């Protein structure tokens, strides 16, 4: 899995023990750092509440330096 993005807002576990819950909002990207988080993400995908994305990074906007326009001056 690259990234998992929530499609619908649902309630799910918030820790490895499952003793705490929270609401995962639509559009939220789930972290996949720990094994229990990967299991939770797969469960969300199976339920249709989330989808897996390939994780394409957004293109950074860069501004090119303007080219110097002008002609050399003649010395008189």
Domain ranges of the chain: 3-53
- In this prediction, residue 5 has a pLDDT band, given cuts at 50, 70 and 90, of very high
Q: How deeply is 17 buried, as exposed, middle or buried, from its count of CB atoms within 10 A (0-12, 13-18, 19+)?
A: exposed
- For the stretch 17-74, pLDDT in tens is 989 999 999 999 998 999 999 999 999 999 999 999 885 666 567 777 777 777 777 7
The pLDDT score that the predictor gives to residue 38 is 92
Q: Name the region of 48 (left: φ>0; alpha: ψ -120 to 50; beta: rest).
A: left
* Residue 3 pLDDT exceeds 80: yes
């Amino acid at each position: 899995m690259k990234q998992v993005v929530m499609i619908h807002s649902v309630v799910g576990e918030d820790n490895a023990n499952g003793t705490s819950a929270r609401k995962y909002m639509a559009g939220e990207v789930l972290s996949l750092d720990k094994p229990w988080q990967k299991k939770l993400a797969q469960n969300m995908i199976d339920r249709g509440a989330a989808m897996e994305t390939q994780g394409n990074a957004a293109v950074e906007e860069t501004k090119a330096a303007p080219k110097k326009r002008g002609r050399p001056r003649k010395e008189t």
